[in-house]
């Protein structure tokens, strides 16, 4: 059995039937991670600790214990605190921070018997769309190593795409799960805001941040979300709803499914290849019994400016805690306390983080708060209402995840606004707190993956996963792997 190309469901079954051990499985992935370290997917790897966890999982399996992910190796985005693990958030500011406790997400996976493979690379403090802002260097897209993997969860996305991990956690503030999932040709899910606890997830923008999961397929995602989702009293925004088995409706027929196509997602700015692949995917859905409904999201063009007022405003507040006093980077030379804080922040933060802190401080300042921040909040409500109105006409929304496929390193580095626009189709979902996912639906003319975004009403993850799974039963795009994995031709 080629373990690194086996589905999560099959791996879990193999562990339960003792076809192989968690130690053997974990060692297989650790060896692959070392062989493909040039991709830059991981910031921290501790093979000895991972194998000890695998050995403990094998002991639990031998005692007859069983959970969906018992003994399964999982990569975790370096935004989640993990006790005893270096947790950097991709920043120099936290380059020496070893977490003293587990995030709720890490705790849930540990209780389920999963194995921590390592902490994945990411844009610094989750601020970026290309994974070029990490203090530890960029992550490379395994489909074409001169291209970006997307961000900020680029390390998790590239690791799954290159089959360095069967499952990876991630976070999404404005598209940071769905966008890299699309650019790397995998499946990624951003749950409803509050579905997954933010306790122990290093904050960027608290009203937008949401933990999620990446894997090759929707069926794999369902297993991972079943473990990580759940109410947490330590998170004031955690949704108190009954825990679900997200695998329960994967086989649900799509007959009569109403697919809403927002007019605003199919205009200028989207590449011809992306538009063509999306159309082909919609035709597959129609063959499965779904039908199209054209809908309007009239304020969607305002989602980017609204986001880049609200998110930096929240970031400027959240990141004020990094002052060099209690933990994190501290400048080596300074005169007094004020200079120590100023120098530590100047040295510890990268350019993009500084840009967003300054922007956020500006929009919150006297004289600009009403003009920018409050106005952005009003428009955010209009965007939320647009989605609610659309779901009165359809069951799910579909469209491109990104306007283009993966772009070259440095292609958008000189123009922050152009970089920000790469998230134009994903940001509205975060502003409305909705669940959204991206699934692979083919390739462009040079062999780079294209992603289809599927958006649902609040708490509709089970339905979304079923809609994605039925498509993946009818196609094999989610099974395609880069040449560096299969040892053959791309795609």
**Percent of the chain residues topping a pLDDT of 90:** 93
Q: In terms of Cα–Cα distance, which of 149, 97, 162, 84 is closest to 123?
A: 149
Separation CA 16–CA 116 (nearest Å): 19
Q: In terms of Cα–Cα distance, which of 188, 136, 134, 201 is closest to 161?
A: 188
Query: Do 11 and 72 meet the contact criterion of CB atoms below 8 Å apart?
Result: yes
Residue with tokens 């001169």: 146
Q: Is 70 left (phi over 0), alpha (psi -120 to 50) or beta?
A: beta
Identify the band that residue 5 occupies on the pLDDT scale cut at 50, 70 and 90: confident
CB burial class (10 A; 0-12, 13-18, 19+) of residue 207?
Answer: middle
Catalytic annotation present for 344: no
Domains of the chain by start residue, with CATH: 3-259+392-486 (3.90.1300.10), 303-375 (no CATH)
Q: For residue range 144-194, what is the model confidence (pLDDT) as tens digits? A: 999 999 999 999 999 999 999 999 999 999 999 999 999 999 999 999 999
Query: Do 85 and 69 meet the contact criterion of CB atoms below 8 Å apart?
Result: no
At 356 the pLDDT is: 97
- The residue count for the chain: 491
At 413 the pLDDT is: 77
Question: Residue 46 pLDDT more than 60?
Answer: yes
At 484 the pLDDT is: 84
Question: Strand (E) positions, 174-209?
Answer: 187-190
User: Residue 258 in 3-state DSSP?
Assistant: strand
pTM of the model as a whole: 0.97
Catalytic annotation present for 50: no
User: Residue 213 in 3-state DSSP?
Assistant: strand
Q: Which of 21, 134, 144, 152 is catalytic?
A: 152
At 418 the pLDDT is: 84
Q: Which of 21, 22, 50, 77 is catalytic?
A: 77
Q: Which of 176, 238, 344, 438 is catalytic?
A: 176
271: number of Cβ within 10 Å = 16
Catalytic annotation present for 176: yes
Query: Do 260 and 396 meet the contact criterion of CB atoms below 8 Å apart?
Result: yes
Preceding omega of 205 cis (within 30 degrees of 0): no
Question: Of all helices (H) and strands (E), which one includes residue 357?
Answer: helix 351-364
Separation CA 209–CA 227 (nearest Å): 19
């Amino acid at each position: 059995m080629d373990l690194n190309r086996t589905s999560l469901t099959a791996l879990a079954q193999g562990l339960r039937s003792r076809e192989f051990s968690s130690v053997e499985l974990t060692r297989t992935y650790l060896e692959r991670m070392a062989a493909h370290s040039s991709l830059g997917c991981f910031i921290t790897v501790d093979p000895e600790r991972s194998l000890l966890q695998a050995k403990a999982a094998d002991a639990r399996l031998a005692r007859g214990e069983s959970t969906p992910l018992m003994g399964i190796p999982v990569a975790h985005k370096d935004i989640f605190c993990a006790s005893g693990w270096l947790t950097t958030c991709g920043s120099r500011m936290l380059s020496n921070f070893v977490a003293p406790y587990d995030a709720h997400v890490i705790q849930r996976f540990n209780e389920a018997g999963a194995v921590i493979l390592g902490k994945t690379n990411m844009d610094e403090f989750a601020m970026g769309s290309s994974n070029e802002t990490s203090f530890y260097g960029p992550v490379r897209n395994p489909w074409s190593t001169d291209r970006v993997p997307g961000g900020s969860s680029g390390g998790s996305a590239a690791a799954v795409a290159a089959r360095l991990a069967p499952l990876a956690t991630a976070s999404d503030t404005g598209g940071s799960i769905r966008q890299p999932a699309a650019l790397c040709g995998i499946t990624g899910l951003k749950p409803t805001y509050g579905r997954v606890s933010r306790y122990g997830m290093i904050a960027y923008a608290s009203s937008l941040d949401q933990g999620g999961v990446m894997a090759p397929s929707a069926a794999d995602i369902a297993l991972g979300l079943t473990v990580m989702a759940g109410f947490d009293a330590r998170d004031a925004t955690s949704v108190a709803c009954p825990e679900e088995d997200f695998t329960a409706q994967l086989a649900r027929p799509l007959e009569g499914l109403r697919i809403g196509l927002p007019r605003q997602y199919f205009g200028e700015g989207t590449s011809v290849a992306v538009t063509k692949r999306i159309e082909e995917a919609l035709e597959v859905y129609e063959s499965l019994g779904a039908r199209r409904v054209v809908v309007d999201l009239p304020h969607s063009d305002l989602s980017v400016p609204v986001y880049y007022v609200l998110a930096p405003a929240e970031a400027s507040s959240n990141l004020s805690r990094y002052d060099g006093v209690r933990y994190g980077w501290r400048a080596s030379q300074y005169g007094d306390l004020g200079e120590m804080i100023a120098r530590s922040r100047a040295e510890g933060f990268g350019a993009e983080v500084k840009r967003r802190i300054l922007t956020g401080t500006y929009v919150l300042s006297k004289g600009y708060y009403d003009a920018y921040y409050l106005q952005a909040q009003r428009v955010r409500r209009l965007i939320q209402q647009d989605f609610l109105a659309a779901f009165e006409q359809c069951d799910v929304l579909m469209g491109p995840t990104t306007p283009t496929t993966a772009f070259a390193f440095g292609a958008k580095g000189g123009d922050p606004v152009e970089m920000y626009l790469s998230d134009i189709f994903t940001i509205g979902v975060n502003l409305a707190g909705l669940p959204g996912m991206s699934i692979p639906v083919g390739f462009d003319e040079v062999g780079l993956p294209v992603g289809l975004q599927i958006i649902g009403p609040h708490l509709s993850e089970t339905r979304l996963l079923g809609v994605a799974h039925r498509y993946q039963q009818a196609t094999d795009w989610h099974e395609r792997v880069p040449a560096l994995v299969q040892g053959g031709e791309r795609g």
